[in-house]
């Protein structure tokens, strides 16, 4: 069995982006394997290629925060995630932040791709 993760916590979010572990990110973000990076916010297999390439031992599923209003991700992204064996949970960004923080506290191996709101 692989070791449980302790992903970084999202402390705040809003019009300027996200504050994660005391660092401000003024854009959309991707959290993967305990690392935070800027993300274009583009919901495509190409823009999320790092997630698709991640070792399944490092990742249970991805939480996709799609912005302030619920919308389904493009079919190509849903199909790519399914083909890679990656679970995908789609929510508005505020709901996705709450779920991500809950999963992070539990030490779950979860990634988050969050569109800034």
**CATH (domain of 81):** 3.40.1230.10
Residue 14's domain comprises: 10-114
Residue with tokens 């300027």, as numbered in its chain: 16
Asked whether 18 and 29 are in contact (CB, 8 A), the reply is: yes
The model's pTM: 0.92
Q: Is residue 77 part of a domain?
A: yes
User: 3-state class of 18 per DSSP?
Assistant: strand
Q: How many domains does the chain have?
A: 1
If pLDDT is split at 50, 70 and 90, which confidence band does 95 have?
very high
Adjacent-strand bridge partners of 25:
18
Any domain includes 3: no
Measured CA to CA, the distance from residue 96 to residue 85 in angstroms comes to: 20
Residue 5's pLDDT is 55
Q: Is residue 71 part of a domain?
A: yes
The answer to whether 93 and 115 have CB atoms below 8 angstroms apart is yes
CA distances from 36 to 43, 58, 69 (A): 17, 15, 23
pLDDT tens, position by position, 37-67: 999 999 999 999 999 999 988 898 999 999 9
What is the residue whose two structure tokens read 């031992």?
57
5 inside domain: no
Q: Which helix (H) or strand (E) holds 57?
A: none
2 falls within a domain: no
């Amino acid at each position: 069995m692989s070791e449980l993760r302790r992903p970084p916590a999202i402390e705040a979010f809003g019009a300027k982006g996200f504050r994660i572990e005391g660092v401000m990110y003024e854009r959309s973000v991707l959290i993967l394997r305990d690392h935070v990076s800027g993300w274009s916010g583009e919901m495509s297999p190409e823009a999320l290629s790092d997630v698709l390439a991640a070792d399944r031992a490092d990742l249970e599923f991805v939480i996709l925060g799609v912005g302030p209003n619920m919308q389904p991700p493009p079919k190509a992204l849903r199909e790519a995630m399914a083909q890679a064996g990656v679970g995908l949970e789609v929510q508005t960004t505020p709901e996705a932040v709450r779920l991500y923080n809950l999963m992070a506290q539990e030490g779950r191996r979860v990634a988050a791709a969050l569109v800034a709101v």
